[in-house]
Structure 1
Amino acid sequence: MLRHYNEPTLGIPSFPGSHLVMDDHYIYLSGLTAADLPDGAALLGDIRAETHQIMEYLSRLLAHAECTLDDSVRVDVHLTDLALQADFDAVYARWFSAPFYPTRTCTVSPQLAGGASVEVTLMARRPQQR
């Protein structure tokens, strides 16, 4: 059975979707940018600050499903410029237990919603299903 969840601090999504959808095995999180976050507009343009806040909110969303970022199996990253990847990675890597990182795709998306520099989405496996 699918369950849908919207994080109250993020408000109702501005798109036709949910912040998080889970079934008995997996958790799927919608893409998240700093522009989606309360007071996130102040972070725009600072890739490290944007990344930190996004990862914090992704962690919060996973906690709702009794998971952590270490339960992530796949992450999709969209950057407005690949030159930002090293700064993104410097923050991103700290949120996982090395060397057990999820699979990842990183693409260039020249224009992200709200003027953000990065968008992150992920899929996690629910611990009780391992």
Structure 2
Amino acid sequence: MSKQIINTTKAPAPIGPYNQSVKAGDLLFISGQVAINPDSNELVMGDIKTETHQVMQNLEAILHEAKLTFEHVVKTNIFLSDMSNFATVNEVYGSYFNGDFPARETVAVKGLPKNVNVEISMIATVTL
């Protein structure tokens, strides 16, 4: 099985030694995304709703580069700096899907890169 690196300028460049996503077999593994605007390379931290929308837009850009949509997502991991943001993040996250939600866990962590409030990673299938 070979792997293919998939990156796009429409999502933030990695801030460490990793790629935005890696396709291996029929799966696309998307690295955790935070609320960095890819055009300005600045954090979008107005409120948790705005921050979550930016994260989801970054994930969508990577999916699009791989010629996939949120329908292809089979698993997500959501990391929150504070579980009190769960309901708002859940509302924004859910608005990007059309019913067939992927498997998921949401955990609170002590800290996230750049002191953001939410980070989300995904696994998508390239076939439906």
Pair in the same fold by TM > 0.5:
yes
Amino acid at match of 2:4: R
Q: 1:10 to 1:60 in 2, by over 3 A?
A: closer
Contact 2:12 / 2:38 at 8 angstroms: preserved in 1? no
Q: Which has the higher strand share?
A: 2
Instruction: Give the superposition deviation at 1:24.
Output: 2.9
The residue number in structure 2 matching 1:83 is 84
TM-score w.r.t. the length of structure 2 is 0.89
Amino acid at match of 1:21: V
TM-align CA RMSD? 1.7
Instruction: Give the superposition deviation at 1:115.
Output: 1.5
The residue number in structure 2 matching 1:29 is 30
Contact 1:70 / 1:96 at 8 angstroms: preserved in 2? yes
Unmatched tracts of structure 1, length 5 or more: none
Number of residue pairs matched? 126
| Deviates further, 61-70 or 32-41 | 32-41
Contact 2:36 / 2:55 at 8 angstroms: preserved in 1? no
Instruction: Give the superposition deviation at 1:37.
Output: 4.2
Aligned partner of residue 98 in structure 2, secondary structure: coil
Q: 1:101 to 1:11 in 2, by over 3 A?
A: closer
Tell whether 2:121 aligns with 1:121.
yes
Task: Find the aligned partners of 2:50 and 2:96 in 1 and give their Cα distance.
Answer: 14
Task: Find the aligned partners of 1:16 and 1:94 in 2 and give their Cα distance.
Answer: 31
For residues 41-96 of structure 1, the C-alpha deviation after alignment (integer angstroms, 9 at most, x for no partner) is: 2x225111111111111111011111101110000000001110000011110100
Task: Find the aligned partners of 1:15 and 1:114 in 2 and give their Cα distance.
Answer: 12
Map 1:1-130 onto structure 2 (within 5 A): 1-10=2-11, 12-35=13-36, 37-39=38-40, 40-41=42-43, 43-44=44-45, 46-98=47-99, 100-127=100-127, 130=128
Aligned partner of residue 62 in structure 2, secondary structure: helix
Amino acid at match of 1:115: N
Q: 1:37 to 1:50 in 2, by over 3 A?
A: farther
For residues 98-121 of structure 1, the C-alpha deviation after alignment (integer angstroms, 9 at most, x for no partner) is: 1x1000010111211112100000
